[in-house]
Amino acid sequence: MKKLLFWIVDCWRVVMDLRYNPLRHIKDPSIQMYFYLALFIMWSGYFSVVAWTWLSWENYSVVASIAIHLAVLIPLFVTNAVFAEAEKNGSKWYREYRTEQSIEAMNHRLSQQNYEKRIKWDIDREA
């Protein structure tokens, strides 16, 4: 369960975290939120059109699409807030899991058949 939650948070941050997405270059938080809201409404409308035309859901509406998206996004917002707070405060469970994750990733790389297990010294780059 913990692995799934961390995967959800990592995927969420790729799209919604200002440290990674292009909206980080906008300095005013109110303008950033405006663009988030505009994109949210645009994608909800797009999915309602897709459902209406391609899936033949003739009673599907934009309002229903927005409500469904909010039902998915609000728990994701809460989960992200909990994980961001844990990361900021350096919670023990968060550090332990991230350490465990990096150890697993290193063990996976080391177990690969073609993984080079020696350190290469590039004298031209370090000179």
Q: What is the pLDDT of residues 106-121, one digit of tens each?
A: 888 777 776 666 667 7
Cα–Cα distance measured from residue 41 to residue 29, given in angstroms and rounded to the nearest whole number: 18
Cα–Cα distance measured from residue 66 to residue 17, given in angstroms and rounded to the nearest whole number: 21
Cα–Cα distance measured from residue 14 to residue 76, given in angstroms and rounded to the nearest whole number: 13
Domain edges within the chain: 2-114
Q: What is the pLDDT of residues 14-46, one digit of tens each?
A: 777 777 777 778 887 778 778 878 888 888 788
For residue 70, pLDDT over 70 is answered with: yes
pTM over 0.85: no
* Mean pLDDT of all residues belonging to the chain: 77
Q: Which amino acid is at 102?
A: S
Q: How confident is the model at residue 64 (pLDDT cuts 50, 70, 90)?
A: confident
For residue 71, pLDDT over 80 is answered with: yes
Cα–Cα distance measured from residue 95 to residue 90, given in angstroms and rounded to the nearest whole number: 7
Quote the distance between the C-alpha of residue 71 and its chain's center.
Answer: 17
